[in-house]
Amino acid sequence: MKHIQILFLILNVLIGVGIIYYSYIQQKTYKKPLLKNLMLYIICFNVLILVNLSYKYLLSNIFLDDFDKIPNYVTSILFLIIFFSEFGFVFYLIKTILNLANKKMPITLNYVAGSWGLLFTALSITGIFLYNNNSNIDFIFTVHKLWVFSIILVVFTALTALFFMRKKANQKQKEAIKRFLILFSMAFFLFAISQIDFYYLKIGITDYDPIILLIVNLTPFLWLQMSKTKLSFWANTNSISLSANLSKTIDKYNISDREEEVIKLVIEGKSNKEIEEELYISFNTVKNHIYNIYKKIGVKSRTQLINFFSNNTRIS
């Protein structure tokens, strides 16, 4: 069973590398902060998988399933990497969720996250110090149990907040957010069940941890595949304002006042239907304006249009 787990973890790492590369390509294409944060989340989560693989391989093949033979410093290093990778993937998942909701990280939330991280860093270092002095791992075990359940609480709190914040998004964003909520809620539900089994139930669910980790690992890839046509409906930052430089660009390409209004709404992520309703013009007129804008600027898609004008904006 352990060799099968190791093989699944190796598969996890290989798939993780592919997903990291795929998310990097998406970030290069769309240039969105939410994709950058999602990519960093994926990297941190795969570091966690890599450490899990390293530990299982060492325990099974080097130390012959005798935990006491593992040098204390090796256990300490692995534990610290696990701690910081877990903190990293939660931090960047929260930033991704804020990007989806078109919100910036509040200063108060920064302080809370910092305090939370510092508290468990101090407890973890204390546990490692005690472990290296008396080889008693109980304190580290207790700290990590509290840490993991705080992670689960934070993740589900953030997903719940996104559920309520989605109401202010446009239709395309709402569709992508709905898929994000469904996929990530299911993935972290499995992750939570696995941790509850490891610490309390002990009915063997943790034997399938590599499969659960694979499901969680595939979640952002599945979301990107299902929602990539919606990604252009997020601005490159939470707020993009047209500046004097952009006005000069509009003059350069002989863009009319009405076309400028359409461009602003496209940058905000509005669909053709929403632009029609906001400007009180027909759907075909909206399509004609967008066609003329494409022709004047020399772009072929909404994504290219947004990226073109985003490069000529001042971030507010």
d(CA 10, CA 50): 8
136: Cβ contacts below 8 Å, ≥ 6 apart? 130
| Residue with the larger pLDDT of the pair 303 and 284 | 284
Domain at 2-233: CATH code: 1.20.1070
pTM (2 d.p.): 0.76
* Res 238 pLDDT > 60: no
In the chain, CATH 1.10.10.10 covers: 240-315
If you average pLDDT over every residue of the chain, what do you get?
A: 87
Which pLDDT belongs to residue 237?
A: 44
Structure-block tokens of residue 231: 């990604």
Q: What percent of the chain has pLDDT over 70?
A: 91
Which pLDDT belongs to residue 304?
A: 85
* Res 265 pLDDT > 70: yes
Q: Strand, coil or helix: what is 262?
A: helix
In the chain, CATH 1.20.1070 covers: 2-233
136: left (phi over 0), alpha (psi -120 to 50) or beta: beta
Looking at 1.10.10.10, 3.30.420.40, 3.40.50.920, 3.30.70.360, the CATH number of the domain 240-315 comes to 1.10.10.10
| Residue with the larger pLDDT of the pair 309 and 73 | 73
